């Protein structure tokens, strides 16, 4: 572990870094070591200069392509693993940091194409850890199944109320028994009864050819009588 220390030595402000060894549980397992004893590259001035150089480098980078890849992966991925794999195929690694409660408190993007590392918030609010926490949470929620089934009310066929529903009117059929049931339900004197009686198929046994022959014979007889009277 490393710690930054500040103080005064004979009235002169001093600051630097000290390093300490930790055990497997994260506890200090050694005395602190001054950075100056471990090498120049581990000293505070060197590290601050290096970090400033990296900050200037990041400011000069065009992150448009990186943002576009992240947005595309986010819109097309159906899971966290798909999102990670999509970015990895573009040369970008992503690291999510979660606390014990499972909340995502940090997200880092490592762009191997530009050799730059960005925290999500550095790219914009839409790439912040809070936004990704909500998005990852939505991926874990089950999507309700859609159904195209429509429950339609059953339509019972017409049945006579006086015949224990044993006789029904089938489509494209109209039997004598069914007509009798209709007469019982609507009444023989109803307009519906009169209408169907007018066009009844058996026409109550009337023979139209027989009636036509009788009328013609009557007209012929009457004509002969008139001619006989004139003569």
Average pLDDT over residues 100-106: 92
pLDDT at 151: 57
pLDDT at 132: 95
Average pLDDT over residues 193-217: 56
pLDDT at 125: 93
Taking the model in full, what pTM does it have?
Answer: 0.47
Task: Read off the pLDDT of residues 35-92 as tens digits, 9 standing for 90 and up.
Answer: 888 888 888 888 888 888 877 777 777 889 999 999 999 999 999 999 999 999 999 9
The candidate with the shortest Cα–Cα distance to 4, out of 43, 37, 61, is 43
Is the pLDDT higher at 130 or at 226?
A: 130
Residues 151 and 145: their CA atoms lie apart, in Å, by 17
Where do the domains of the chain lie?
Answer: 2-59, 64-140, 176-230
Average pLDDT over residues 112-127: 91
Average pLDDT over residues 18-39: 86
Residues 188 and 192: their CA atoms lie apart, in Å, by 9
Q: Per the structure block, which two tokens stand in for 222?
A: 């009457």
Main-chain phi, psi angles of 84, to 5 degrees: -65, -45
């Amino acid at each position: 572990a490393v710690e930054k220390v500040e103080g005064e030595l004979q009235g002169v402000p001093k600051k630097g870094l000290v390093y300490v060894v930790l055990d497997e549980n994260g506890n200090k397992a050694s005395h602190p070591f001054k950075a100056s004893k471990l090498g120049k590259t581990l000293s505070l001035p060197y590290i601050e200069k290096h970090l400033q150089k990296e900050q200037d480098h990041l400011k000069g980078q065009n992150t448009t392509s990186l943002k576009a890849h992240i947005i595309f992966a986010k819109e097309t991925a159906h899971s966290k693993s798909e999102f990670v794999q999509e970015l990895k195929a573009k040369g970008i690694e992503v690291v999510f940091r979660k606390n014990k409660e499972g909340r995502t408190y940090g997200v880092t993007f490592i762009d191997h194409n530009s050799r730059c590392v960005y925290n999500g918030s550095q790219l914009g609010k839409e790439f912040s850890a809070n936004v990704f926490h909500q998005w990852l949470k939505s991926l874990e929620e089950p999507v309700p199944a859609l159904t195209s089934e429509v429950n339609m009310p059953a339509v019972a066929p017409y049945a006579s109320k006086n015949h224990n529903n044993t006789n029904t009117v089938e489509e494209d059929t109209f039997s004598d028994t069914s007509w009798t049931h209709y007469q019982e339900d609507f009444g023989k004197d109803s307009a519906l009864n009169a209408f169907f009686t007018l066009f009844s198929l058996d026409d109550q046994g009337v023979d139209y050819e027989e009636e036509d022959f009788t009328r013609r014979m009557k007209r012929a007889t009457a004509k002969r009588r008139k001619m006989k009277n004139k003569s």
